Amino acid sequence: MTQSEAFKALYDTIVKLRGPGGCPWDREQNPSTLREALVEETYECLEAIDENDPAHIAEELGDLFLVVTMIAYMHEQEGKFSVSDALVKINEKLIRRHPHVFGDVKVKDSAEVLENWAEIKKNQEGRGNKESILDEVSCGIPVMDRAYKLQKKAAKLGFNWQSTEGVIEKIQEEIGEVQDALRSSKDDGKLEEELGDLLFSAINLCRYLKVDPSVALRRTNGKFTERFKYVEKKMKETGQEMNNENLEIMEGFWIESKKAKE
């Protein structure tokens, strides 16, 4: 089956699901009710990419295609735009923003590609006329990703640390302020504020070192999950309960799980 045939088959299936005699659940959905599914499928796709499992990646991309096409078709049903309109627009945008490929513009590296991309958004598409450069960062993305992107935007205008040491000192400063809040304040709002500052500074260190914090945290989540499951397995094998009284034993198995991967 060709790519065009495969997409038409998906489209036809969605039309049937949403049409008379289709699936009651699918017919009840709207773009708002599928927002959570869109986010969930995106993160499941990211997980598959991290696992580097081609079969899993193909499956999760298919799920993502389904949700995206379903949402587009919902708008088509309402006469707002068609699925093909969305595809035509993204294709036109790709061609417009790659004049070094589809035109006669010359670029020396990827950094210049990104500069041209930003200029095209601003001058040709009128999408850069905002009160602040930070207004270009969507409020709808996950908060950690938003913090990362806000910092990247500010850094483009020179609002950036001059050294790694400066960023680390800022993190240490924020840790001190968290400790001060714990000692001297009963205001949970103040502690929340200081912890937020600490998280923001840690994300800033990731950005400064060119590490995507979401990718780094996903890796750590995976590592924690694997090690904790090892502890659960060993505690069960030795007939011991997982509780605070057995914390020292659990820590021993945790260290054992770490060494097993070294």
Distance CA 81, CA 73 (A): 8
In a domain, 77, yes or no: yes
Lowest mean pLDDT among 132-141, 145-154, 200-209: 132-141
Q: Residue 117's Cα: distance from chain center in Å?
A: 21
Whether residues 154 and 167 share a domain: the answer is yes
| Predicted local confidence at residue 21, as pLDDT | 94
Q: Tell me: pLDDT of 129 over 80.
A: no
Which position has the token pair 């035509």?
A: 88
Domain CATH number, residue 202: 1.10.287.1080
Same domain (yes/no): 86, 105: no
Contact 41, 32 (CB under 8 A): no
**Region 186-212 average pLDDT:** 92
Q: Which domain holds residue 16?
A: 3-96
156 and 201 housed in the same domain: yes
Taking the mean position of all CA atoms in its chain, how far away is CA 84? 26
Residues 6+ apart with CB under 8 A from 8: none
Structural tokens at position 35:
């927002």
Residue with tokens 């945790």: 254
The residue-averaged pLDDT of 187-199 equals 90
What is the pLDDT confidence band of residue 128, given thresholds at 50, 70 and 90?
A: low
Are 106 and 172 in a shared domain? no
Total domains in the fold of the chain = 4
Q: What does the pLDDT read at residue 115?
A: 87
Q: Any alpha helices (H) in the chain, and if so which ranges?
A: 3-18, 24-28, 35-51, 54-77, 83-96, 99-102, 110-119, 143-156, 164-184, 188-208, 213-237, 247-260
**Do 91 and 11 fall within a single domain?**
yes
Same domain, 158 and 178: yes
Question: What is the structure's pLDDT at 177?
Answer: 95
CB 164, CB 209: distance < 8 Å: yes
Tell which residue, 208, 111, 195, has the closest CA to residue 216: 208
- 135 occurs within a structural domain: no
* Mean of the per-residue pLDDT values of the chain: 93
